[in-house]
Amino acid sequence: MGTLFIIATPIGNLGDISARALEILGQADMIACEDTRHTLKLLNYFGIHRPLTSYHEFNEEEKAAELFRKIETGTNVALVSDAGTPAVSDPGYRLIRLCRQKGITVVAIPGPSAAITALSASGLPSNEFMFVGFLPSKKSARREKVNALKNLSCTMVFYEAPHRIAETLEDLREILGDREVCVARELTKIHEEYLFGCLSEVKGRVKPLGEFVVVVAGGVEQMEESVDLSALSRKEALKAIADKLRISRNDLYDLLFKKE
Ligand code: SAM
């Protein structure tokens, strides 16, 4: 049986390709890619000449089966996408899953991904985050999706196209509130730019050109309404705290006032 290699490629700067990616691309029996012309440019730049085959969102299903059969009979296939990490908002998932289900070795060669690049440089909390990817293009579906994210407290990462960036920032502001955002444009390329601030303010500064990652701060947990202590009797205060701690008033009383 052959092996399926998942190979991350640069998102702009060709210097970001890894030594291991070059080594495996140079040895693969076949390279499956989204757009053969696009990948050919990358391979020519590095002097790699291997057979290419197209695997993209419109032929993913039948091509996954075809590639799987080749791997099963001993072909080593390297999977790349136009840029970044395959299967991250890109084709790959079907073939990878098929190989996993049939016990074929799958090896990932890590490297660039626009989401992680933007998140790591955003200055927003990154120990916990949600990768959302592209929001739906239809306005009602997009707003519904954003609405479902409203109560998340972790940082959120979106991909967006230039013709929709302004509208998406406005939808995010309207639904999530005027949160902090980092808009990363043209990462690792000549016109790389990070805009940081509140959604309302960044929206006015963004140039709708190039590729975008939008990193949005999570929601702050809402504080419960504070209690007016002067309006509470001791009994009511004990009950409120006991309810909150889900213990009985007697246990709470003992805990607070009983001598050891
Ligand atoms: N698999 C890729 C990855 O790992 O980053 C993502 C592929 S997805 C089809 C393409 C989207 O990624 C673009 O529309 C943009 O939102 C984002 N993207 C890719 N390269 C980028 C770059 N250099 N700067 C900013 N965003 C980028």
Q: What domains are defined for the chain?
A: 3-112 (3.40.1010.10), 115-216 (3.30.950.10)
Summarize pLDDT for 30-78 with one digit per residue, the tens: 999 999 999 999 999 999 999 999 999 899 889 999 999 999 999 999 9
- Name the residue of 80, 187, 211, 215 to mutate for ligand 1: max ligand atoms within 8 A of Cβ: 211
Q: What is the mean pLDDT of the chain?
A: 93
DSSP strand pairing (30-33 vs 52-54):
parallel
pLDDT at residue 112 tops 60: yes
pLDDT band at 19 (very low <50, low <70, confident <90, very high): very high
Which residue CA neighbors atom 16 of ligand 1 most closely?
159
Give the amino acid at 109.
I
pLDDT band at 238 (very low <50, low <70, confident <90, very high): confident
Report CA(125)–ligand 1 centroid distance (Å).
Answer: 21
Angle, alpha carbons 223-229-231 (nearest 5°): 120
Measured in whole angstroms, how far is the alpha carbon of residue 29 from the centre of its chain? 31
Residue 85 Cα: closest atom of ligand 1: 4
Task: Give the 3-state secondary structure of residue 67.
Answer: helix
Which residue CA neighbors atom 2 of ligand 1 most closely?
84
Which residue CA neighbors atom 8 of ligand 1 most closely?
89
pLDDT at residue 129 tops 70: yes
Report CA(225)–ligand 1 centroid distance (Å).
Answer: 42
Residue 237: predicted pLDDT: 80
pLDDT band at 223 (very low <50, low <70, confident <90, very high): very low
DSSP strand pairing (77-79 vs 3-7):
parallel
Residue 229: predicted pLDDT: 63
Give ligand 1 pocket residues (Cβ under 6 A): 11-12, 81, 83-85, 88-90, 113-115, 159-161, 184, 186-189, 211-213
Report CA(83)–ligand 1 centroid distance (Å).
Answer: 7
pLDDT at residue 225 tops 80: no
Which residue CA neighbors atom 23 of ligand 1 most closely?
187
pLDDT band at 257 (very low <50, low <70, confident <90, very high): confident
